[in-house]
Amino acid sequence: MTQARDEIKIGGLGASRKRVEDNRFVRGKGRYVDDIVLPGMLHMEILRSPLAHARITSIDVSKAWQIPGVRLVLTGDMMAARNLAWMPTLSYDTQAVLATDKVRFQGQEVACVVADDPYIAKDACEAIVVEYEPLPVIVNPAQAVAEGAPVIRDDKENQPDNVVFTWEVGDKAGTDRAFAQADVVSTLDLHYPRSHPSPLECCGSIADFDRSTSKLTVYMTTQAPHIIRAAVALVAELPEHMIRIVSPDLGGGFGNKVPVYPGYVASILASILLERPVKWIEDKTGNLISTGFGRDIYLRGEMALRNDGKILGVRMYTDSDHGAFFSDAQPSKFKIGLLHSAFSCYDIPVAHLVNRGVYTNKAPGGVAYRCSFRVTEAMYFQERMVQAAADDLGMDQAEFRRRNFVRDDDFPHRTPWGFLTDSGQYGKCLDVGLEAIGYQDFLTEKEEARKQGRLLGIGISTMTEPLGAGNSREYDILGIKMFDSAELRVHITGKAILRTGAKSQGQGHETTWAQIVAHELGIPAEDITVEEGDTDTAPFGMGTYASRSTPVAGAAVSMVARKVRAKARKLAAHLLEVSEEDIEWELGRFYVRSAPDHGVTIQECAIAAYSNMPDGMEPGLENVAYYDPPNLTWPFGCYIATVEVDPQTGVWDVLRVVAVDDCGVRINPMIVEGQIMGGLTEAYAMANMQFITFDAQGNCVGSNYMDYLLPTAWETPGYELHEVVTPSPHHPIGAKGVGECATVGGPAAFVNAVMDAIRDTGVRNIDMPLLPDRVYEALTKRHDVS
Ligand code: MCN
Ligand code: CUM
């Protein structure tokens, strides 16, 4: 008889283990960048441009220097003298660190002051006198490409206009043929507005250059410490082994903490010049107006349809607004992220996508806010178009989806834009969702309500999305391949420490990675410490974004545990005095096949690794694994919302939200549900209230929490969550990513529901957010509203 451990009891795969990091978070003991105080530390503040586009004619810093306690005033010219006025971005562009020639967006960094405390630094920023000569301002793609538009990036050679790139994918001629055969062509124009991830903790850094050792340590808010280390080595021309990046606890990231920001670079230079630690903590307005936003993209979609509901082909034309610098982090092969993952869950024979990216006088970014590299936009367009197409055909929207889904036995399936989806049960997920919401009953209720002048609507959004870049053949950032890593050390008493190249910002890696080790080795999860974010100790990895941690670093955790188990097996054979071939494994224990009671635990193997190894065996029980996934993982989500729209005011209330997520095997179901609830809340926020816009002068509207709204518990609807499990065929434990699914798929469910409720108006689209005045205008004026 064997003594297999109960996996749930030891906190292994499938255990809804409480989050270990919450022990310190709920006690106020988290250690964020701003909590770190170093001896002799100075404080830096940034002076930002009030104008969106202007030539700088002079900067007078003399008054700032006179303020007692000011230690350094940095301007673009001083940066330029050190070749640091411009820095490379993660998308092969350049970005101003401190402006020299022009300012190109409101909020751009113009100067920095370092002082004894942050208040002195802030006052001194206000004592700097900058003279600007205003230039015409561009705030959208149409203006950017208009005849005679001023060239924003006149700093660049070979940049005669404001076009960053044009990128196309698919089969143009084949798509044209499909459209020629269509019974119906459905079209839709949409704008996915600029939004902001707005993590509660803003960005910040503490640079600490120690002249005596030549070592630079930077504590900073980054989701990708190793990429930052490489970037600092290149920008500051420092040797990489003399740079240590530490990303401590993060108060949310949501993609906002991937790019390299001028504040980081300026604090590093200040520390090198002053030989003192220099802390920079961004304020909320600075964060909202200058750091990585999400979306800001216009789409025209066209769908070729057969009368029986079959989609024959799709065209997409998109204009993306990247702001003044093309700075987002995304796989270098794909200029507009993974936008071309649209329609991956549908069996569409042929498709063509053309994207044009432009510079405008707005903050740089575009890849952030739980977007999976712009898959948010892809799936929003997809599901809004699918609903419009079903309406045009007069077909039931659920039936239209089902008719076009890739079927369970059609995997692997090559999408028309080149992805390979490998698994899923799309029809089943939709069925679970429809059943849960009571679809047919709701349609009846809706018709009844309509007779009484009440407007009820139901919105469905179904999607599969690519999570887990790379594989290294196709995915790199600045040429660095997108694999990831894990290092596991089992100590003599059988406790362990695990480090990965990922970096949690709130997702719970300290809890879930230990569960994977528990699953592979049978060591209780509570005996495993998980550490991330310190480049001096963590193995090289590309960090956490695009929900890549479980698919890539999580897979590396499995693989490194398996390597450790392979060595433990040899130790077990030695201890049990049999040959390795005679050994069997069950959770946490090796035993002799012919005598199952005769066994040793993994902990006994650990002791032996340090005290009783066989002749010739290297001591110790540790290893490292680098994992390069063969494919992305393809989770599926089905989100269904029901709403009631008030015809008198345009206000809409959510009645119910049902979410069915298939992210393969769930490591920690409670954490997965938390991710989905958070994601749905962000989806609801974007559909209902959240956007950043600009006036004609490029002034940012949405620069504070009075204008940029975060939903509170009061208005956030409740969610009903359901699960389907289709394991990833290639991930070592069958898990797929999930961190962004609900934010990606959710918005279309809310918007489709409102559009369904007001269908009688004939209005095809209202752009997000669906503010009451926009809905009211649609109800009264009956034309498209944005
Ligand atoms: N998980 C699981 N089983 C699965 C899949 C995931 O138990 N089958 C768990 C993971 O172990 C992990 C969490 O769910 O603890 C999220 O895993 P994953 O989908 O791999 O996503 P990442 O860890 O890579 O997180 C990134 C993703 C992104 S890109 C954004 S943006 C986002 C998001 O996570 N930012 C967040 N969720 C966030 N949640 C919080 N609290 N804070 C953020 O900044
Ligand atoms: Cu696009 S936001 Mo997340 O990938 O860090």
Tokens standing for 655? 């009645």
pLDDT given for residue 218 in this prediction: 98
Using CA atoms, how far apart are residues 224 and 542, in angstroms rounded to an integer? Answer: 6
pLDDT band of 784, cuts 50, 70, 90: low
Phi-psi region of 518 (alpha: psi -120 to 50; beta: other; left: phi over 0): alpha
Ligand 2 proximity of 406 Cβ (cutoff 6 Å): no
pLDDT band of 236, cuts 50, 70, 90: confident
Ligand 1 neighbours (beta carbon < 6 A) = 199, 252-255, 370, 505-509, 512, 544-550, 663-668, 671-672, 675, 678, 735-740
Using CA atoms, how far apart are residues 597 and 599, in angstroms rounded to an integer? Answer: 6
Catalytic residue, candidates 203, 371, 605, 700: 371
pLDDT given for residue 783 in this prediction: 59
Of 676, 337, 339, the closest CA to residue 507 belongs to: 676
Q: Does domain 33-135+202-249+257-290 have CATH number 3.40.50.300?
A: no
- Look at the alpha carbons of 305, 309, 314, 316 in this order and tell me if their dihedral is positive or negative: positive
Where are the domain boundaries for CATH 3.30.365.10 in the chain?
A: 22-30+484-627, 297-469+631-781
Quick check: 54 and 110 in contact, CB under 8 A?
no
Using one digit for the tens of pLDDT, what is the confidence trace for 703-722?
A: 999 999 999 999 999 999 99
Probe residue for ligand 2, chosen from 367, 550, 552, 741 as the CB with the greatest number of ligand atoms within 8 Å: 367
Using one digit for the tens of pLDDT, what is the confidence trace for 653-663?
A: 999 999 999 99
pLDDT given for residue 663 in this prediction: 98
- Look at the alpha carbons of 770, 775, 776, 778 in this order and tell me if their dihedral is positive or negative: positive
Mean of pLDDT over the chain: 96
Over range 552-574, report the average pLDDT: 98
Q: Does domain 22-30+484-627 have CATH number 3.30.365.10?
A: yes
Over range 130-156, report the average pLDDT: 98
For ligand 1, what atom is nearest to the CA of residue 678? 39
- Write the DSSP assignment of 82-115 as a string of letters: TT-SEEE-TTS-EEESS-SSEE-STT-EEEEEEE
Peptide bond into 331 cis (omega under 30): no
Compute, in angstroms, the gap from residue 12 CA to the centroid of ligand 2. 27
- Among 429-433, 485-489, 759-763, which stretch is predicted with the lowest mean pLDDT? 759-763
Probe residue for ligand 2, chosen from 203, 336, 371, 475 as the CB with the greatest number of ligand atoms within 8 Å: 371
Using CA atoms, how far apart are residues 767 and 217, in angstroms rounded to an integer? Answer: 45
DSSP 241: G
> CB 760: neighbour CB atoms within 10 A?
10
- 588-618 burial: b if 16+ Cβ within 10 Å, else e: bbbbbeeeeeebbbbbbbbbbbeeebeeeee
Beta strand ranges found along 618-709 (DSSP E): 622-627, 636-645, 652-662, 693-694, 700-701
Catalytic residue, candidates 108, 223, 603, 675: 223
Residue 223 annotated among the catalytic residues of the structure: yes
For ligand 1, what atom is nearest to the CA of residue 508? 15
Over range 691-712, report the average pLDDT: 95
pLDDT given for residue 786 in this prediction: 63
Over range 384-394, report the average pLDDT: 98
DSSP 722: E
Q: Which residue has better confidence, 470 or 184? A: 184
Topology of domain 297-469+631-781, per CATH?
Aldehyde Oxidoreductase; domain 4 (3.30.365)
Residue 5 pLDDT > 90, yes or no? no
Using one digit for the tens of pLDDT, what is the confidence trace for 436-456?
A: 999 999 999 999 999 999 999
Between the CA of residue 737 and those of 263, 331, 400, what are the distances in Å? 32, 18, 27
pLDDT band of 785, cuts 50, 70, 90: low
Residue 545 pLDDT > 80, yes or no? yes
ipTM of this complex? 0.99
Residue 371 annotated among the catalytic residues of the structure: yes
The vertex-383 CA angle with 378 and 386, nearest 5°, equals 125
Where are the domain boundaries for CATH 3.90.1170.50 in the chain?
A: 33-135+202-249+257-290
pLDDT given for residue 739 in this prediction: 98
Using CA atoms, how far apart are residues 262 and 207, in angstroms rounded to an integer? Answer: 13
Using CA atoms, how far apart are residues 593 and 599, in angstroms rounded to an integer? Answer: 9
Between the CA of residue 134 and those of 32, 52, 53, 78, what are the distances in Å? 39, 8, 6, 23
Residue 203 pLDDT > 90, yes or no? yes
Of 658, 764, 633, 644, the closest CA to residue 718 belongs to: 658
Compute, in angstroms, the gap from residue 91 CA to the centroid of ligand 2. 15
Over range 29-39, report the average pLDDT: 98
Residue 1 pLDDT > 50, yes or no? no
Ligand 2 proximity of 369 Cβ (cutoff 6 Å): yes
Quick check: 254 and 293 in contact, CB under 8 A?
no
Tokens standing for 660? 């069915």
Residue 2 pLDDT > 70, yes or no? no
